[in-house]
Amino acid sequence: MLIDPYSRVIDYLRISITDRCNLRCIYCMPPEGLEPKGREEMLRYEEIERVAREFIQLGVTRFRITGGEPLIRKGITELIRGLAGLDGVEDLSLTTNGLLLDRYALELKQAGLRRVNISLDSLDSERYHYITRGGDFHQVLRGIRSALEVGLNPVKLNVVVIRGVNDDEVLDFVELARTLPVWVRFIEFMPMGGESFWTPEKFIPSEEVKERVLERYSLEALPQWSSGGPSALEQGLSPAFHPETRSAMVGNGPAIYWRTPGAVGRVGFISSMTQHSCHRCNRLRLTAEGRLRSCLLADEEIDLRPSLREGGTKEALKRLIERAARSKPPGHQLSPAGRSHARGQMSAIGG
């Protein structure tokens, strides 16, 4: 079992398989994009599987494939099939921008993928084109439909809310979750990746987003769900947003999920800046070039590639993984007025 210095159990690994992306989102990349790493610098699929097997031996059961955009890397279906076939894998998911999902959804599901997260920051085709610097909104919609049709469940939509850019669409996304069985997750804008685009004025706290939802539906104030004591719901109050289950609300993930009355989907809030969930973080991150990060914003990286390519033993690989767990910080230091000092780009770290 992997346990960090703050008694958090690590049971989740995010694996970036490429630093390349077929979009240039305004908050993630500069307009000209980034110089991609060479092919030989990327971990090969067999190396990724070897790392995953060692993590499984240490008690990690949940894996997420990320990028860049993971669906642009050739042979991804075979990687999914290989990982899904490993004894001990309880959950295997993927984060994508959705542009290629219509093409791959069925074969990914057949290969063993269980669920998918799709980045979607606007429901307006022209605005989506602007935010992504060229993306085809209707192509993403086709990907969402395909994911639902083949049974990738749940389908989560990640929405980075940016004041003056897409914050006027919050209620449109809530309506989407009322009519489609998708989980819409409103994410606080973080000063990472496309830092030239970041300004504190563009930041909107999750609480403000919640208030807008509550106004539209004439709902009561949301209860605070705390892992340290009973929630308002447990105390017999009647919040107008209804949490599905305690595990869905608290869990170890960053989102808190709610359902508006009569909705078939869910609405979630990820408050990474104002109410971060670092105290219950359960993950490590493997970059596309084989470096382990204990935190998205950590400067320290532990390079696994030399051990993988120079005959390192299983025990040596295990020691490197355990070292990464021991280096996990208690939390990040970002604030709405701050900036990220983490090395690397989101497109290579895997978000």
Residue 56 sits in a domain whose CATH number is: 3.20.20.70
Task: Show the low-confidence residues of the chain (pLDDT under 50).
Answer: 218-251, 340-343
Do 142 and 104 touch, CB atoms closer than 8 A?
no
Backbone conformation region of residue 147, classed left if phi is above 0, alpha if psi is from -120 to 50, else beta: alpha
How do beta strands 9-10 and 2-3 pair?
antiparallel
User: What pLDDT score was predicted for residue 66?
Assistant: 98
Token readout for 202 is 């563009």
Q: How many other C-beta atoms lie within 10 A of the C-beta of residue 3?
A: 15
Q: How many Å from the N-terminal Cα to the C-terminal Cα in the chain?
A: 24
DSSP state of 221: P
User: What pLDDT score was predicted for residue 278?
Assistant: 86
Find the helix packing angle between 101-111 and 76-84, rounded to 10°: 30
Question: For the segment 79-117, what is each residue's pLDDT rounded down to a tens digit?
Answer: 999 999 999 999 999 999 999 999 999 999 999 999 999
- The CA dihedral of 17, 70, 107, 133, to the nearest 10 degrees, is -170
User: What pLDDT score was predicted for residue 192?
Assistant: 72
Question: For the segment 123-156, what is each residue's pLDDT rounded down to a tens digit?
Answer: 999 999 999 999 999 999 999 999 999 999 999 9
Q: How many other C-beta atoms lie within 10 A of the C-beta of residue 53?
A: 16
User: What pLDDT score was predicted for residue 318?
Assistant: 96
CA distance 196 to 28: 10
Q: How many domains does the chain have?
A: 1
CA distance 349 to 78: 22
CA neighbours closer than 13 Å in the CB half-sphere of residue 277: 20
| Among the listed residues 93, 13, 15, the one whose alpha carbon sits nearest the alpha carbon of residue 55 | 13
User: What pLDDT score was predicted for residue 300?
Assistant: 87
Q: Which residue has the tokens 């993928």?
A: 113
- Alpha helices of 134-260 — where are they, by DSSP H? 137-150, 170-179, 206-217, 246-249
CA distance 129 to 140: 11
In sign, the C-alpha dihedral spanning 45, 312, 9, 4 is: negative
DSSP letters, 187-212, are EE--S-SSTTT--GGG---HHHHHHH
CA distance 231 to 228: 9
Bridge partner list, 63: 13, 92
CA distance 9 to 60: 9
Do 147 and 117 touch, CB atoms closer than 8 A?
no
Q: Which residue has the tokens 């104002």?
A: 274
Do 187 and 157 touch, CB atoms closer than 8 A?
no
Do 274 and 188 touch, CB atoms closer than 8 A?
yes
User: What pLDDT score was predicted for residue 293?
Assistant: 95
Do 63 and 13 touch, CB atoms closer than 8 A?
yes
Provide the domain limits for residue 12.
Answer: 2-349
CA distance 257 to 279: 18
Distances (CA, A) of 94 to 20, 102, 130, 187: 16, 14, 25, 18
User: What pLDDT score was predicted for residue 43?
Assistant: 97
User: What pLDDT score was predicted for residue 244?
Assistant: 44
How do beta strands 291-293 and 301-303 pair?
antiparallel
